[in-house]
Chain A
Amino acid sequence: MIEIRHVNKSFQGQQAIHDLNLTLPAGELSVLIGSSGSGKSTTLKMLNRLIEPDSGSILLAGEDIRRQSPDSLRRRIGYAIQSVGLFPHWTVEQNIAAVPQLLKWPKSRIQDRVTELLTLLQLPPAQYRQRYPHQLSGGQQQRVGVARALAADPDVLLMDEPFGALDPITRHTLQQELIRIQALSGKTIVLVTHDIDEALLLGQHIVLMEHGRIAQQGKAQDLLLHPASDFVRHFVGQSDTGIRLLGLGKVGERVRQGQASGEPIRADRNLREALSLFVTRQVTCLPVVDEHGQASGVLHFNDLLGAAA
């Protein structure tokens, strides 16, 4: 658990963070979202002491982060940023091994860990471990950046717009992978973004910031259904609220017994994708399969509105 208590921060007389109080639950993926300059990155960097608050305190697992040296604190906290910042003169393997090296892990353990992480991030180790960053695509570099942040198995992972510079398809793939990794590892992740769809998709806890203050925090449904102010309503998108809510539900939650024809949709897809299929195919009923491709029933158009199952 991360607790931020009465934190203030000014840059050159300009207050960037105003009396921030925030609790980020352990084992959850929290998202900091807000417009440019709202203080997201500043908040994130205060968590690993890249920026020191002017006042207030920050607790990690109940302990004030100032009780550790910044360097040893940072080795316990993974950090990944948009521009990736892979070390261009190091191979993929050396990049991922950066923190384990600092922690003086034995060689064989480091090698095993690199293999494990490359596999986790779907980069075949034999093919990729000896490559240099310039020999990778943007999406692959991003994966290596995430692998490097995860290398020493940190309790907490901080990510500043990690998927910002990617094309929509690669971004989508990596978002799905992050969800999978988070579910597998149960890590506490704090992710900064200014993409509301990314926030709604990934955030188990969403913190919307405005001018260095919290405009609203909670689950995606809270922000969509009960916006605390016009700013929040505007930010999460007035006209698309319904569609965005559909994006939060899974097909599997609304599935019924039955059979239908046509290309099936997977149960772990969200209802927004299902709606899109209904409209493009001009049908009212879709066959549903589980992740192994086994038929598991049908989804009716009317059930999109909820209350089914």
Chain B
Amino acid sequence: MSRLATGLHARRWLLAGSALLAGWLLYLPHSEAWFARWFPELERPLYQQEGFGTLVLAHLGIVTVSSGIAVLLGVSAGLLAGSRFGRAFRPLLETILAISQALPPVAVLAVAAPLVGFGSTPALIALILYGLLPVTQGTLTGMDSVDRDTQAVAQGLGMTRLQILRHVTLPLAAPVMLAGVRTAVVINIGTAAIASTVGAKTLGLPIIVGLSGFNTAYVIQGAVLVALLAIVADQLFEWLEERVTPHLPARAGS
């Protein structure tokens, strides 16, 4: 009963967040007067170089592609490092990932841009890099969290290694793996904004234009959208996580 309650809870927040995002997007084109009252010193208080809808789609596009690739690579790396053959590589992998995570995003973009050119390519490289650690770590932790006895019994019942992976280990690891993906996506929604510094079209554009031109209204218009996107994505994963764990005892609270 309380699982049902949290399920409804997550869905309610997801709907509320989406409604807020949609409302803000619809209102923005008509908000010039409102921002003008707020920032009377600005000549043009509403960012109009690009439509906000276009920017949101471009932003989501970059995040989706980079997260998709990060999930593909990260899950594969996690499965490999968690397997019998890859166990030896696990410490190396974890070190590389930790180092990649420690590099500041701006530095990665600054190094990548001259190498691969400006635009969305350096942005994708940086975002994939940042998505990899949480996804791989989530996969490894998720697989570790599966009860050894359960896997031993699966083997004792005559499941092949692949069957154990598919029917036992992966479904049981799924919630933790999904939590890793959730972190990656939410981080990437924020990081993608910075990628506008190397010419990628994202919601970072109004922010950066606003910062360099002392136009606080632009910054607010971009930043609020980024924040709302992150919240909606986060709630979407909250809801998904509940859907992949129908078997778990109801969690207390929340």
Contacts and interface: CB of A to CB of B under 8 A. Distances in A.
Interface string B138-169: 00000000010110111111111001000110
A99 B247 contact: no
A195 to B, nearest CB: 20
Nearest to A101: B167
A74 B149 contact: no
A292 B56 CA distance: 78
A71 interface: yes
B156 A89 contact: no
A71 B158 contact: yes
Contact of A87 (B150, B155, B156, B248): B150
Contacts of B163: 102
Contacts of B177: none
B249 interface: yes
Interface stretch (A77-85, A212-220, A242-250): A77-85
Interface in A56-90: 70-75, 79, 81, 83-90
B157 A74 contact: yes
Nearest to A135: B249
B242 to A, nearest CB: 14
Given A50-B152, A83-B149, A71 B159 contact: yes
Given A81-B149, A85-B150, A48 B156 contact: yes
A71 B153 CA distance: 12
Nearest to A76: B158
Contact of A85 (B149, B248, B249): B149
Contact of B147 (A79, A85, A148): A85
A86 B147 CA distance: 10
B158 A88 contact: no
Contacts of B249: 134
A98 B155 CA distance: 11
Nearest to A102: B158
Nearest to B161: A71
Q: Among B150, B154, B172, which residue has the most Cβ atoms of chain A within 10 A?
A: B150
A132 interface: yes
A85 B149 CA distance: 6
Q: How many of chain A's residues touch chain B, expressed as a range?
A: 20 to 34
B171 interface: yes
A90 B247 contact: yes
Nearest to B245: A89
Given A71-B160, A99-B158, A134-B248, A89 B152 contact: no
B152 A75 contact: no
A79 B149 contact: no
Contacts of B248: 88, 134
Nearest to B249: A134
A87 B158 CA distance: 14
Interface in A205-252: none
A79 B247 contact: no
Interface string B240-254: 000000111100000
B243 to A, nearest CB: 13
A88 B172 contact: yes
Contact of B156 (A74, A88, A90, A133): A74
B157 A102 contact: yes
A81 B152 contact: yes
Q: Among A83, A85, A90, which residue has the most Cβ atoms of chain B within 10 A?
A: A85
Contact of B247 (A71, A72, A83, A89): A89
A101 to B, nearest CB: 9
A79 to B, nearest CB: 4
B111 to A, nearest CB: 44
Nearest to A103: B158
A82 to B, nearest CB: 9
A48 B246 CA distance: 33
A84 B147 CA distance: 11
A96 B105 CA distance: 51
Nearest to B167: A87
B105 to A, nearest CB: 37
A70 B160 CA distance: 9
B165 to A, nearest CB: 13
B153 A79 contact: yes
Nearest to B168: A87
Contacts of B150: 85-88
Which 7 pairs of residues, A with B, have the shortest CB-CB distance? A85-B153, A74-B158, A75-B158, A79-B156, A89-B247, A83-B149, A85-B149
Interface of A: 48, 50, 70-75, 79, 81, 83-90, 98-99, 102, 132-134, 148, 158
27 contacts: A50-B155, A50-B156, A73-B158, A74-B155, A74-B158, A75-B157, A79-B157, A81-B149, A81-B156, A84-B153, A85-B147, A85-B153, A86-B150, A87-B154, A87-B167, A88-B150, A88-B172, A89-B172, A89-B246, A89-B247, A98-B154, A99-B157, A102-B157, A102-B159, A102-B163, A133-B247, A148-B157
Given A79-B156, A88-B248, A99-B158, 17 more contacts: A50-B152, A71-B160, A73-B158, A74-B156, A74-B158, A81-B149, A81-B156, A83-B147, A83-B149, A84-B149, A85-B147, A85-B154, A87-B154, A87-B168, A88-B150, A98-B159, A102-B157
